[in-house]
Amino acid sequence: MEEENGFYKLEIGAKRPVMLFATHLENKDYVLDISLKDTYTYPIDDWRYFDSLSEACTFYNIDEEEIYGSYYTFLTGKEPGEEIMV
């Protein structure tokens, strides 16, 4: 994932959790812009700001492997359970 700081929202799917990510969101009821991240009171429609995917996963108490699913090895270059150096 090239840019990790932004707004995250966890949705629980039938097969696995799905983490949504954006740096700018427009909804009929709100607008979230990363440049204004410190001015918001979270959560906003279940969206929260985090500095990284790892931080979001820690908050939601899920493993990054669950988020990446079958793409975990492709995206990280590691097998599930291997330590990832960042």
**Cα three-residue angle 7-18-10, rounded to 5 degrees:** 45
- Residue 80, pLDDT above cutoff 70: no
Burial of 47: CB neighbours in 10 Å, binned 0-12, 13-18, 19+:
buried
pTM: 0.73
Q: What is the domain range of residue 62?
A: 6-76
Determine, yes or no, domain membership for 34: yes
Provide the pLDDT for residue 4. 84
Establish if 20 belongs to a structural domain: yes
For residue 85, tell me if it sits in a domain. no
Number of domains into which the chain is organized: 1
The size of the chain, in residues, is 86
Pick the residue with more confidence: 28 or 81? Answer: 28
